[in-house]
Amino acid sequence: MKNRKRIYTSISIFLLFTILFACQNTNQGGRNFQPQSLEQTNYSQEGDNDYLDDQPQLVGGSERDVREPHPVSNNKLQKEYPNIVVLHGSPMKNQVALTFDDGPDTRFTPQVLDVLAKHDVKATFFLIGSRAKAHKEITKRIHDEGHAIGNHTYWHPNLPKEDLGRLHWELTETEQVIMGITGFKPRLFRSPYGALNDEMVKMLGEKNNTVIGWNVDSLDWKQQGADIISDNVLSNVGFGSIILMHDGGDWSMDLSGTAQSLNKIISKLKKDGAKFVTVPELIGVPEAK
């Protein structure tokens, strides 16, 4: 009986110290946040095992599972913080900016880059830090071919559900990865799912970031096929448009329709006299901090 009491007492003390240690590591607004490393990530989903072995996933969930219509939320933030949040360029110039989120992806980013090169068009890629680290050669290709690069966090969390410490870690960790590959820290930042709150916008402004939204959504993440994707864009595009597309996503998504749609989108807009520019060119800000 005495031995049993000693065991219970030892277990209680161990649990108490474990709780105290955990609390200590989560103080200061999450500044000590340390998500699992790429090497520790375990992918157990069924699918292309070779792809899953080196493709960091979206911790916030698939775009199709998380994205909800928020028709005015980013417009409110843009109105409140006009020097930080940008949703489009000048309506006086026939310029448009193609943007691609959630890469680099070994399956779809090269397809997109090939089409852009074919049409001699420059675009802007918002990269996930963990994927840029895993696919350095594709990241380098994006940069070397003259496309602009923005920060799309390291693990793609749903930021409004996190604290400011998480945003700080995601931002700076991705900056370091991109800096190591391209030689600069990106000024442009796009939040996963386009979701932000006031406190986060203020922090990003203090960190000398420009928050980039969009005013044309291709809805390519719904995987509806190239014709529907191109129609979504061409039916809504105008002078100064920032067009949202994806060259990566959840492991189960087939985004080949994105690259296929670009031929029609680019050809039609060029015929209408539109000039394709990067986001830094569209809004007149530097690509680097």
DSSP 288: B
101 in catalytic set? yes
Strands (E) located in 26-147: 85-86, 95-103, 124-127
50 in catalytic set? no
Q: What is the dihedral of CA 223, 226, 232, 236, to 10 degrees?
A: 140
- Hey, how many other C-beta atoms are within 10 angstroms of the C-beta on 36? 10
Which residue in the list 156, 246, 247, 250 is annotated as catalytic? 246
The tokens describing 4, both together, are 């049993």
Interior CA angle at 169 toward 168 and 172, to 5°? 80
**What's the one-letter identity of residue 169?**
W
HSE of 108 in the Cβ direction (CA atoms, 13 Å)? 30
- Hey, how many other C-beta atoms are within 10 angstroms of the C-beta on 98? 28
Interior CA angle at 109 toward 107 and 114, to 5°? 110
**What's the one-letter identity of residue 32?**
N
Which residue in the list 101, 102, 220, 247 is annotated as catalytic? 101
As a whole number of angstroms, the distance between CA 265 and CA 185 comes to: 30
Q: Could you give the C-alpha distances from 249 to 58, 92, 108, 253, 256, in angstroms and in order?
A: 8, 33, 10, 6, 11
Catalytic residues: 101, 246
